[in-house]
Amino acid sequence: MAIQAWSARDSKVMVDSHEVTGLQSIEFKEDRSRRDIQAIGETLRQGVEYGVRVINGTLRVQSSCKPLEEKLQEDDLEKAKFTLVAQLKKGDQSLNINFQDCYLDNREFTMDVNGVGVAVYSFSATNVDVKF
Over the stretch 57-92, which tens digit does the pLDDT of each residue have? 999 999 999 999 999 999 999 999 999 999 999 988
CB atoms within 10 A of CB 10: 13
How much is the pLDDT for 1? 62
CATH number of the domain within which 21 lies: 2.30.110.20
How much is the pLDDT for 108? 97
Q: Could you give the CA distance from residue 60 to residue 62 in angstroms, rounded to a whole number?
A: 7
Number of domains in the chain: 1
User: Containing domain of residue 95, as a range?
Assistant: 10-27+56-131
Q: Could you give the CA distance from residue 96 to residue 86 in angstroms, rounded to a whole number?
A: 6
> Is this structure's pTM higher than 0.85?
yes
Report pLDDT digits (tens) over 87-117: 999 988 999 999 999 999 999 999 988 888 9
Q: Could you give the CA distance from residue 63 to residue 79 in angstroms, rounded to a whole number?
A: 23
